[in-house]
Amino acid sequence: MRYFTKRRSLNFKKPYGEQAFSDEDPMNGVANLFDVGLVFIVGLILTIFSTYHLQDMFSESSKMTVMKQAADGQLEIITKEGKKITAVKVTRQTAKGQGTRLGMAYRLEDGSMVYVPE
């Protein structure tokens, strides 16, 4: 019969006499999910920064160039040299003027381009 007796539960008291752990509150199990979510988000951001080497964006001595294409096909070249960041939009307008020939470019069978200086 000793196995059928009511077991005693720990009854931790708060300073005002309320129970600290109540069996009636269904939110006890999910109280710290917000904190766990924040830790997960910070870890994900750090992983993305290290995977794509984006920490160079915050270094004062780094030089980097990023090319991005919008949904409408507009190209933009973003260049960072030290603390200076410039963004140039590429258009399909033809350029006019005088210049010098720099070399030849050839397209290979696999689709890659090779530049051959003169």
Question: Which pLDDT belongs to residue 38?
Answer: 92
Count of domains observed in the chain: 1
> In this structure, is residue 4 part of a structural domain?
no
Domain membership of residue 113 (yes or no) is no
Enclosing domain of residue 67: 11-93
Q: Is the pLDDT of residue 85 over 60?
A: yes
pLDDT of residue 7 exceeding 70, the answer is no
Query: What is the band of 83 on the pLDDT scale with cuts at 50, 70, 90?
Result: confident
- Flag whether 102 is in a domain: no
> Is the predicted pLDDT of residue 42 greater than 90, yes or no?
yes
Distances from the Cα of 116 to the Cαs of 92, 98, 100, 112, in angstroms?
A: 25, 21, 15, 13
Instruction: Compute and round to an integer the Cα radius of gyration of the chain.
Output: 32
DSSP 3-34: GGSPPP----B-TTS-BSS-TT-GGGGGTTHH
Q: Give the N- to C-terminal CA distance of the chain in Å, as an integer.
A: 101
% of the chain exceeding 90 in pLDDT: 11
Report residue 95 as tokens: 């350029």
CA angle 28-23-21, nearest 5°? 60
**115 domain-assigned:** no
pLDDT of residue 21: 54
Report the 10 Å Cβ neighbour count for 56. Answer: 13
Who wins on pLDDT, 30 or 5?
30
The answer to whether residue 45 is domain-embedded is yes
Per-chain mean pLDDT for the chain: 78
